[in-house]
Amino acid sequence: MALSDRTPGIRPHQTVGRRLDIAWRYAFPAATSVLFMLLSLAPFGLWGQAALLPVVALTCVWFWSLFRPAAMVPPVVLLIGVLLDLVGFLPLGVGGLTMLATHGLAHRLRRFLSRQGFTVVWLIFMTVACGIAAMNWALVSLLTLTLVPPGPVLFQAGLAVAMYPVVAIPLMLAHRTIADPERA
């Protein structure tokens, strides 16, 4: 339900189309996250493309948890993490746990970061991406009982930092327009 529907006063009639519009706007963050994850799996033939999947998932969960926490709730984040595990061939639970940790950090830092500019949010994301990559490395090493080489994890952290503007800018534009439930 949009905020305008909860405030007293004259409101538009609740038609089925309006209700569907509001529902779509609330589902938009999860839908775009899954869509971007699936697009990262498309055979573009890019070097290091396999590392794009967790990077896109991390970026989408961070962005939507920070700017639309009502639409990116923990059960949705967990489902995105499980999807990451299934299509990314990770041990089951690693993606879910790392995505929930990302969501928790974004939710915790939301008040501070909502007043900051893009550059500060990006700098904080750099730290979070490195921490999540290290957590991912530790969990995979622990669950497979082998010491995984740190090279791919470092590449993934660097790619996450570099890809944040590429993913966040279209999401920011959508957040201000089509995904805003107040415009329904």
pTM: 0.86
DSSP string, 53-77: HHHHHHHHHHHHHHH-TTTS-HHHH
Give residue-wise pLDDT tens across range 7-30: 677 776 788 888 888 888 889 999
**Tokens linked to 171:** 């999401």
Domain regions of the chain by residue span: 3-183
Name residues whose C-beta falls within 8 Å of residue 13's C-beta, 6 or more positions apart in sequence. none
Measuring CA to CA, how many Å separate 4 from each of 14, 23, 50, 120, 173? 12, 14, 43, 31, 21
d(CA 20, CA 31): 15
Question: Looking at 4-8, 11-15, 68-72, 162-166, which range is the least confident one?
Answer: 4-8
Give residue-wise pLDDT tens across range 28-46: 999 999 999 999 998 888 8
